[in-house]
Amino acid sequence: MKNLFLLAMLGLMTVACSKVPAGNVGVKVFLLGGNKGVDSEVLGVGRYWVGINEELYIYPTFQQTRAYTQEKSDDYGDESFTFQTSEGMVCNMDLGVTFSIERDKISTLFQKYRKGVDEIQSVVIKNAIRDSLVSITSKMPVESVYGEGKAEMIAQVEKEVKESLKSNGINVEKVYLIGSVRLPRNVVEALNSKIEATQRAQQRENELREAEAQAKKTVAEAEGKAKSMIAIAEAESKANSLKIKTLTAELIQYEAIQRWDGHLSQVSGGAIPFLNLNVK
């Protein structure tokens, strides 16, 4: 009987003994009595006795990632973010966050929120992201949210969330977009049509600039060719003028003799060319 009692006590002690695993910190909470609240001692890695009047919360101190998506799972429902643009357009998006909790501020964190790490992710961090997102997008047109301003919007949300949670011991490292911004189908189609029209106009403008550049190139080539021909003609004209000025009867006869092969023409209608015979 005594052995059974000892075994029962040993089993009870084993059940009441809780473990703080590596990479985590524990916070012991008193549920009843004058000590109700948070134990001032933060528990490191190891096994601890947790009585019936106590509860142990485990907080990871390593980097964690949480995705807030529209897709439902066994653990979470629709956690996506809905907001309005400056025109009052209702939009929706999925966001993710990467964060860690400072070990030295875990006790203070629990005293403020009275929540475990799952509740902090689902409530504290999510609310901070939602509040920042709603505030920022309310000043942005839908085209900017859907298009070129999207990256700047996420960066601004990340900055504000980091600042708001830092003092509580929550270090937000990154807020990021998952997928794309969700808009009503008719709005998406209208925006896409506008984007396509802008791209076509830009393409036509580029083609026009290319055609103008090609035309200028052709004109320049033609002008260059014309100037070249004029220069050649002027050079030939000057050369001919010089030749005419230096041309004499004696030079002509000399050149003809130089080119003569010694045979007289078989048909001659007059004087023998370039021969001047002074026979008396």
Contact 56, 26 (CB under 8 A): yes
What distance in Å separates the CA atoms of residue 133 and residue 154, rounded to the nearest whole number?
Answer: 8
What distance in Å separates the CA atoms of residue 109 and residue 107, rounded to the nearest whole number?
Answer: 5
Per-residue confidence (pLDDT) for residue 172, from 0 to 100: 95
Element (H, E) at 151: helix 150-166
* Ramachandran category for residue 176: left, alpha or beta (phi over 0 → left; psi -120 to 50 → alpha): beta
Neighbours of 221 (CB within 10 A): 10
- pLDDT tens-digit profile, the chain (280 residues): 555 444 444 444 444 577 777 778 877 777 665 555 555 567 777 677 776 777 788 888 889 999 999 988 878 899 999 999 998 888 999 999 999 988 888 877 877 887 778 888 999 999 999 999 999 999 999 888 888 899 999 999 999 999 999 988 899 999 999 998 888 777 666 666 766 666 676 777 777 777 777 878 787 787 778 788 887 877 777 776 776 766 666 666 766 676 766 666 665 555 555 555 554 4
Q: What are phi and psi of 162, to 5 degrees?
A: -55, -50
Element (H, E) at 54: strand 54-60
Per-residue confidence (pLDDT) for residue 30, from 0 to 100: 72
Query: Based on C-alpha coordinates, what's the Rg of the chain?
Result: 48
The dotted CATH code for 64-183 is 3.30.479.30
Residue 175: exposure state from Cβ atoms within 10 A (0-12, 13-18, ≥19): buried
Domain ranges of the chain: 2-60, 64-183, 197-246
Q: What are phi and psi of 92, to 5 degrees?
A: -145, 145
Per-residue confidence (pLDDT) for residue 11, from 0 to 100: 44
Element (H, E) at 175: strand 170-182
Per-residue confidence (pLDDT) for residue 22, from 0 to 100: 77
